[in-house]
Structure 1
Amino acid sequence: MDELRNYLRVVDFEKSVHDKESLEGISMITELQVIDSPDGEYLIIHRANNHFRAFDTLWEILHVLDRQDLYHLYRVVDDYYEHIPPTGLGLMLLGDLNIIWETAESSDDDFWKDQEEWEIIRWRFHESSGVHTLELEDGTMIHMLAERRYPLSRELMIRMLDHGMEVEDETETAITLIHLFILWTTEDGDNS
């Protein structure tokens, strides 16, 4: 167990005090708006209790959502773009959420190509949503559910482990994810 901790880097995610508030008792996500402002686009997430909040990336959203919220957000975003084509920030959000919830049958093989060229800046685990995020040098962020296996190459997973996963706290889920990555890298053949 101690050897698995060697792959974790405990860091402060630098969230605001508001972000650190408990999620208990917060109502379900019911609506999404994409607002264009002079500062850029913002996603406004509305809840059933009439509270709302603005975000400009899924990265920010993952700091405050739990797994149930993430699923509701996916449903709301999917419904929002059912009849209008997504653009800009909305297109990025829909793409990120599709990757999170994708299955082997729906996987975009082109997205997962050229992993040997991916330069890792950060690999972070968001405990409340159960999502780990791989941030690449070119600005790409890949969000993945902890319990789901994605078409990552063995070599990329080894580089991720060597880089270390950033966590706010050493949790059982984070340790389990590290353990799974180690198992996957020792399997015969390639995961992709």
Structure 2
Amino acid sequence: MSVEEQARLLMEFIAARKKFFAAKRAEEQRNKPPTKAEQRKKMCTYMKHMAGYKDKKFKGKSFDAIKQMFDKAYKQVNDFVPMDTESSRKKVDSSGKKAESSKKRTRAVLGEESVKKQKVEDDAEKAELKACLEIVPNDDSAVNIESLATKYPIVDWKTHILAEDIIYYQIIRADGSTKNYKIFSAMLDDFDRQDVLDLYRLVKERFETTSLEGYDRLLWGDLITLFEPSEEDEIWKTQQDYTLISWKLYDSCGVHLLLMNTGCSIHMLVEKKYPLTQEMLSRMLSGRLEVDHECEMAFELLRFTRSQLKK
């Protein structure tokens, strides 16, 4: 077999693995149970369209309070029976069987209409959100998916400075395996949420006993911005001076990243609120969120960002 044929077969094998693992991850995302945020949104949508509620009714209310409101509205809608005509009432026998049948039919019709209406609304919203995504396939996605399923926890990290322009972080796992990264952002393709938490804990423990400097302090800055954001930090105070280059989601670890024209990167957890200005939120939504595949986490992040912009 020639070298060209071997190379072609290798490329086909890699492409097949990428497709298989991408499909597997997409299926896992689809099969995930709905989050409280998803349930809350559906309940609020139902109440607005079926019971005439306004958005201000839901503002500041907890999930349990919304659930109580929904249960009450749902019962009122399902218990509603249109008034029969005089002639219809005369035809109802003393047993009340006709009224009961009419009530059941009414509930069934209202239920079907509600489901259809909700599906149309969900499909319309999903199409709108899809337009805000930019799919940027990751060439190493298959390898990363496989490693996430078999990897060991992070137990240590080291910074290596070989020359002024050759600096990297070495991530060490419990099985003794290591991998090198130039910057924190590069780790996110390989990390899951537990990896991010473990690294934050390790760096914080060292920071509490040792004065971090140089490249170590840069890593600590990325992590403290991610987990302990403060409006007093310079990165938030000067955000208006930056031009947003890209907005990217790493769904394997639930982190999204803002890359600025200065080379500065702001890392954020998808479910956490940060001191972003309305102008920056607007810039994020006016562009597109970069993902390597379509996923529910991306849709939730877009909804969450929109909700902050409206406040």
Task: Judge same fold: TM > 0.5, yes or no.
Answer: yes
Question: How far apart are the structure 2 equivalents of 1:37 and 1:21?
Answer: 31
Deviations 1:126-167 (A, max 9, x none): 010100000000000000000000000111111111111100
* Displacement of 1:85: 1.8
Q: Is the 8 A contact 2:231 2:237 kept in 1?
A: no
1:150-189 matched pairs, under 5 angstroms? 150-187=274-311
* Displacement of 1:15: 3.7
| Matched AA of 2:136 | V
Question: How far apart are the structure 1 equivalents of 2:138 and 2:241?
Answer: 27
User: Between Structure 1 and Structure 2, which shows a larger proportion of helix residues?
Assistant: 2
Q: Is the 8 A contact 1:99 1:107 kept in 2?
A: no
Residues 1:68 and 2:194 are matched in the alignment: yes
**Unmatched 5+ residue regions in structure 2?**
1-125
Question: How far apart are the structure 1 equivalents of 2:240 and 2:191?
Answer: 31
Which residue does 2:158 correspond to in 1?
33
Which deviates the most, 106-115 or 78-87?
Answer: 106-115
Of 215, 231, 235 in structure 2, the residue corresponding to residue 111 of structure 1 is 235
Question: How far apart are the structure 1 equivalents of 2:167 and 2:233?
Answer: 29
Of 44, 51, 56 in structure 1, the residue corresponding to residue 182 of structure 2 is 56
Secondary structure, counterpart of 1:53 in structure 2: strand
Q: Is the 8 A contact 2:243 2:260 kept in 1?
A: yes
Of 117, 138, 148 in structure 2, the residue corresponding to residue 23 of structure 1 is 148
Q: Is the 8 A contact 1:7 1:164 kept in 2?
A: yes
Question: How far apart are the structure 1 equivalents of 2:181 and 2:193?
Answer: 18
| Matched AA of 1:82 | E
Question: How far apart are the structure 1 equivalents of 2:242 and 2:138?
Answer: 23
Which deviates the most, 57-66 or 36-45?
Answer: 36-45
Give % identity.
33
* Displacement of 1:56: 1.2
**Unmatched 5+ residue regions in structure 1?**
188-192
| TM-score w.r.t. length of structure 2 | 0.56
* Displacement of 1:84: 2.3
Question: How far apart are the structure 1 equivalents of 2:194 and 2:261?
Answer: 30
* Displacement of 1:66: 0.1
Of 172, 195, 204 in structure 2, the residue corresponding to residue 78 of structure 1 is 204
* Displacement of 1:102: 1.1
Residues 1:98 and 2:229 are matched in the alignment: no
**Rg larger in 1 or in 2?**
2
Question: How far apart are the structure 2 equivalents of 1:99 and 1:73?
Answer: 14
How many residues get paired? 185
CA RMSD of aligned residues (A): 1.7
| TM-score w.r.t. length of structure 1 | 0.89
Residues 1:46 and 2:175 are matched in the alignment: no
Of 82, 89, 105 in structure 1, the residue corresponding to residue 215 of structure 2 is 89
* Displacement of 1:112: 0.6
Task: Spell out structure 1 runs of 4+ moving beyond 6 A.
Answer: none
Residues 1:138 and 2:262 are matched in the alignment: yes
Deviations 1:63-114 (A, max 9, x none): 10000010001111112333222222211110000111115xx553432113
Question: How far apart are the structure 2 equivalents of 1:150 and 1:34?
Answer: 29
Q: Is the 8 A contact 2:152 2:174 kept in 1?
A: yes
TM-aligned CA distance change 1:81 to 1:41, over 3 Å: farther
Secondary structure, counterpart of 2:169 in structure 1: strand
Q: Is the 8 A contact 2:255 2:269 kept in 1?
A: yes
Question: How far apart are the structure 1 equivalents of 2:185 and 2:234?
Answer: 23
